[in-house]
Structure 1
Amino acid sequence: MSPDHPPETTQFPPRPSTLPHAYSALPDDGPLPAVGDFWDLNHPDPLPSPPITPTAISPVPQARRIVTTASFVPSVLPMKTAPAVSWAFAAALSSIPLLVLCGLGAILGVVAVVLGIVGVAQVNSSDRYRGTGRAAASIAIGLSTTLVGTLLMLLTMALFGA
C-alpha cells in the first residue's frame, strides 16, 4: 500500500431487516381509543347470559371418623438432635463470655470439644439423630475458646504470680 492510493473498502449491500415493521409506523396507525372504549364497554356482548335459578341446597353428610389402632410402625421416624450435641453447643456458646473472666471459658471449651466429638459419634451411629453441623460448630468454638482461654489464664498467672 502506498500513501498515494487509499485502501480499498468493500461495499456490502444493506442487510434486510428481520423485523420489517418494528421501527416504522404502519400507514393505518391512528391515535389510541378512549380508555372507556378500550375494552368496548359501550357495546356490551349481545348474547345474554343464562338466568341463575336458585336450587335447593342439600345438607352435606358429615364424614364419619374411623378410628383404628395402628398395626404398623411408621417408616419415617422424626429425627431429633442428639443430646450430646445440644449440650456441646450450649457449653461452647457459654464458654465465649466466660473468656473474659480470667480465661475460665477454656474449661467449658474443653467440655464442648469432648461433647461435640461424642455428639458426632451419636449422630453417625443412629439414623434417629441429627446435628452434625451443630457438633462441628461446637468443636470449632470449643477449640478456639480453649486456645484463647489458655493463653489468657497463662497471662493472668504470669501477671499476678499465682
Structure 2
Amino acid sequence: MSSPPAPAGRARVPAPANPADVPARTGPARVPAWIVWSLRATATLHLVTVLGQAVIAGMFVTGEVDLLAHHNLGATVTAVLVGLQLIAAITLWRPGRGPLWPLGVSLLQAALVNAQIVLGQERLVAPHIPLAMVIFGLAVSMTAWTWRGPRGAAA
C-alpha cells in the first residue's frame, strides 16, 4: 500500500526505523560548574566586603576614628575581590560561553570601586557616600543573579 502524496511544497521525511536514531534536542550549552561557582564565590565575597565597609563607615562617622585604618584595608580587599570577580566574569563569557553582560557589570563595579577609593583618599565624602550606595546596589544585583541565573553542569 502506498502512502498518500505529500502536500505541495513539502517533502515527506520518512520516520526513522529506530527511535534511538532521532537526534536529541539540545538547549544552550551549560557553563562548567567550576566557572559558575567561581563567579558566585567572588560576587558573594565582594558583597560581604561592601557590607562590611558600610558597617565600618557607620561606626567611623559615629566617633570610632580608629576604624579609618580598617576602612582603608577594607577598600583594598574590596578592590581585590572585584578584580577576581572580573576574572570570573571573563571566564564565564570565554571559555564558558556564558552571557557577556556580567563582564560589563563587573567592569563597571571595578571602575566604581576604584573611583570610590580615590574619593575616600581625597576625603570627598559628599560623592563618596552616594557612590557607595550605587556600588552596594550593583553588588547585591550581581550576587543575586549568580545564585539564580547561570546554570552549570553540576550547579
TM-score range, shorter chain: 0.3 to 0.5
Query: Whose helix proportion is higher, 1 or 2?
Result: 2
